[in-house]
Structure 1
Amino acid sequence: MIDIPDQISTAWIAIALVAFLAKHLLGDFIFQTKWMVMGKERCKDWVLPLAIHAGVHGTITALLFLVVSPALVWLGLVDALVHGTIDRLKSHAARRAKLTPQQTGFWWLFGMDQTLHHLTHIVLAILLAAAASTS
């Protein structure tokens, strides 16, 4: 069980939020290769590129928890599964609606995808900050 104290350090919340924003930048933009981007969007043979992409996110999350609270390192796997699910659902919706970057709907869907990732990161940041605040 994850214990969230009544009070969480404001400094730790800020540090955790910045850490997860940096993690997202690294995982979704800097470490994501063209092979991952194109591969995870395919109708078939998408599993490996998506798994590696989501695995990058999960690995960085696991490393953050390893530094602060090793008992919660398993949240890296949770993050990988959530991230991969969000990305796959976005790909499926974009393909089904035949959306391209020239269409407004593509950008709405991209924005929803990014927002869901950031909401996930807010939850993870609270858990990281809570773990650090109780240490």
Structure 2
Amino acid sequence: MLLDPIAALAILLGLQAKHFLFDFVFQSDWQVRNKGHYGHPGGLVHAGLHALGALAVGVVAAMFGVIGLATALILALADGLIHYHIDWAKAQIARRMKLTPDRHGFWIALGADQAAHHVTYIGLVTWLALTVG
């Protein structure tokens, strides 16, 4: 049995909402400044918050019997690890190219970063769809 399409969309929407909250509403300047320094607590906290948000989405899905708790934990860990490395890579590019918000390249890098995160969520939900059941 495959993952129900409505459940898949609900998980995807949950991940999208989590992304908005932790990338824009709750992200601190400290996190933004330090995501480009590999292993810095600022980047780790940022990615950790994304992982916790993904875990919350997964736990809600588990409460409805859509996925198991172990799968929710794997979802959260994968999201956190991938998110960390996407952000680190974008920060490296922005630093090397001296990108600031007044430069067009900054917005291209930001858009690519956000697209990569959203493709990650599509990939994670596809993984769930292929493994659940």
Q: How does 1:1-135 map to 2 (within 5 A)?
A: 5=1, 7-41=2-36, 47-67=40-60, 68=62, 69-72=68-71, 73-128=73-128, 134=133
Q: With structure 2 as the length reference, what TM-score do the two structures score?
A: 0.83
The amino acid of 1:71's aligned partner reads A
Task: Give me the CA root mean square deviation.
Answer: 2.1
Deviation of the 1:45 alpha carbon: 8.1
Unaligned ranges ≥5, structure 2: 63-67
Aligned CA distance change for structure 1 residues 118 and 85 (closer, same or farther; 3 Å): same
The amino acid of 2:76's aligned partner reads G
Tell me whether 58-67 or 105-114 shows the greater mean CA deviation: 58-67
Runs of 4+ off more than 6 Å: none
Render the CA deviation track for 1:67-118: whole Å, top value 9, x for unaligned.
Answer: 3220211221221111010000000000001111111111111111000000
Deviation of the 1:130 alpha carbon: 5.9
Equivalents in 1 of 2:109, 2:38: separation in Å?
Answer: 22
Unaligned ranges ≥5, structure 1: none
Q: With structure 1 as the length reference, what TM-score do the two structures score?
A: 0.82
Q: Give the share of equivalent positions with the same residue, in percent.
A: 37
How many residue pairs end up in the alignment?
126
Equivalents in 2 of 1:59, 1:87: separation in Å?
Answer: 17
Q: Contact 2:35 / 2:42 at 8 angstroms: preserved in 1?
A: yes
Equivalents in 1 of 2:8, 2:53: separation in Å?
Answer: 18
